[in-house]
Structure 1
Amino acid sequence: DTVWTRTYGGPGSDWGYSVAAGAGGYIIAGMTTSFGAGYYDVYLIKTDAAGDTVWTRTYGGLEWDSGHSVAPTADGGYIVTGFTESFGAGNDDVYLIKTNADGWVEVGGRDDVEPGRRLHYLSQNRPNPFGRATTISYAIPDHRQVSLAVYDIRGALVRELVSGTLSPGPHQVVWDGRDGRGREVGSGVYFCCLEAGETRETRRMVLLR
């Protein structure tokens, strides 16, 4: 007979793919569109023995990130595996997340940062290739000076899209394929460069007229 049932999530779509017992309750891994930083995020839920929520955490960037398996670790934390489109070298990459007992991810020896938070993140523009316009998404962890600019294949500045101090969190800007004087640029390869603090990230963009 059923002892109890519980539901978890928010106004979006939420999935649970793996559950493990430990530390007087259960740990659930899945993905969510209700919470987090991007399109889909890894969703980690800690419950007590009765299934009531103790805490929830999300991990990921601006793209599609999912957790498919979770297990307790010997130090009292958790290990989660899944896939990510936000980070890594390709379209989809293996995503392995190690947390402490409270679901926090240690960064630089500290465990007091937001779970899964990365210092900076520049997403691949979408669509890519593009014809008329493309959207560039990026995120920063705190208030800081940010520059987002487009360069041609020779390294010459085409247009500065963002320059100033921005608030933390995700941001988006649209490039309409024009230079700083409002003139349409030709088909070819361009590079979008994000500079924030000491970090510089670049993405390759293809414009097809």
Structure 2
Amino acid sequence: MLITRIDRQGNVKWSNRLGVSKEFGRDMVATKDGGFVIAGSTGVYGIDHTRDDIYLLKIDSAGTLLWTKTFGTLDSYDQAFAIEYDPNGNLYLTGRLINRGTFMGFLMKTDPNGNPMKTIAIGAENHSTNGYDLAVLSNGDIALTGFTTILEQNFQDRSDLMVGLFDKTLIRNGSILMRLQQELIMEPWGRVLRK
């Protein structure tokens, strides 16, 4: 994973390579202390050295690695796609994991040091669900978007947009599914969510 800090004029302030060759940073947030927390996946570190585990790492403002965390299960593809933090510095991640052979979306809450506080899986057996982006709202709720095949016959059918709203304890507030008319969006993936 290559991390580079560039100033407003396009000049490289620093560049740092972290990991070996199978680390992917998919999202990052700036922290109050001037550092950054990066979420993604690793195929080297963690419990599963042949498939992906969720990879969470923190660097300081100079790009120096402060800590890393991995989360996953053996023989599984576990990947984080988005990260946000709340006013208390707690981190929220979303992505996908394999649960009983099925791709499920997940929502994870960690403390400011990346220690897990709670994780929930979102989806159903014989379907595919991914969480792609999230936002922490001003009232502390977490909005989540992605895609799912839950409203279809099985995981091979087309995907529908998934939208979820959770409180800060990761309890769902309302429905997480939204079906869009096929003539409007053929493959709604829900990759980007903006406040």
TM-score calculated relative to the size of structure 2: 0.50
1:68 corresponding residue in structure 2: 81
CA RMSD of aligned residues (A): 1.7
1:83 to 96, 102, 118: 96
2:60 corresponding residue in structure 1: 48
2:26 corresponds to 1:17: yes
Return the index of the structure with the highest Cα Rg. Answer: 1
1:98 corresponding residue in structure 2: 109
1:63-95 Cα distance to aligned partner (Å, 9 max, x none): 00000111112221211110001x3x6621102
1:3 corresponding residue in structure 2: 13
Residue 51 of structure 1 deviates from its aligned partner by 1.2
For 1:69 and 1:48, how far apart are their aligned partners in 2? 19
For 1:81 and 1:42, how far apart are their aligned partners in 2? 10
For 2:88 and 2:81, how far apart are their aligned partners in 1? 21
> After TM superposition, where is structure 1 displaced by more than 6 Å over at least 4 residues in a row?
none
Residue 34 of structure 1 deviates from its aligned partner by 1.2
Percentage identity across paired residues of the two chains = 30
1:29-79 Cα distance to aligned partner (Å, 9 max, x none): 110011111221010011111111110000111100000111112221211
1:33 corresponding residue in structure 2: 43
Give structure 2 stretches of 5+ with no counterpart. 1-10, 120-195
Aligned length in residues = 105
TM-score calculated relative to the size of structure 1: 0.47
For 2:90 and 2:63, how far apart are their aligned partners in 1? 19
